[in-house]
Amino acid sequence: QKEVEQNSGPLSVPEGAIASLNCTYSDRGSQSFFWYRQYSGKSPELIMFIYSNGDKEDGRFTAQLNKASQYVSLLIRDSQPSDSATYLCAVTGGGGADGLTFGKGTHLIIQP
């Protein structure tokens, strides 16, 4: 059974600093990796996805994937109070036919 592990936090980061969120997954067959942000009482919203080993940057966000270590991370630069939320790591298998397997999420708090 696929498992996705995240530190539940809370992770507290000063405003303007870099927030680093980590995730490990159990299924070596996983091929696509996603980071979602979820505010309390709301559904998740996609921040980034990554398929290949290495880094992928989009604005203030950088996703990093290391398939050999089964490790995915998300860096948030210049953290803002509005970034305070729960960040969910999710994986899916090949072809995207499967639904997503989510981690429990990391609660991020950006301190003004």
Partner 1 sequence: GAVVSQHPSWVICKSGTSVKIECRSLDFQATTMFWYRQFPKQSLMLMATSNEGSKATYEQGVEKDKFLINHASLTLSTLTVTSAHPEDSSFYICSARWGGPLTQYFGPGTRLTVL
**Binds partner 1 by CB under 8 A, chosen from 12, 42, 53, 57:** 42
**Binds partner 1 by CB under 8 A, chosen from 28, 43, 69, 112:** 43
- Peptide bond preceding 10 in cis form (omega within 30 of 0): yes
Smallest distance, partner 1 to C-beta of residue 107, A? 9
Check binding of 103 to partner 1 (CB under 8 A). Answer: yes
Check binding of 88 to partner 1 (CB under 8 A). Answer: yes
Check binding of 76 to partner 1 (CB under 8 A). Answer: no
Smallest distance, partner 1 to C-beta of residue 46, A? 7
- Tokens, residue 84: 């305070």
* Residue 105 φ/ψ region, left for φ over 0, alpha for ψ in the -120 to 50 degree band, beta for the rest: left
Smallest distance, partner 1 to C-beta of residue 95, A? 6
- Tokens, residue 9: 């936090």
3-class SS string, 65-110: EECCCCEEEEEECCCCHHHCEEEEEEEECHHHCCCCEECCCEEEEE
Nearer to partner 1 among residue 44 and residue 73 (C-beta): 44
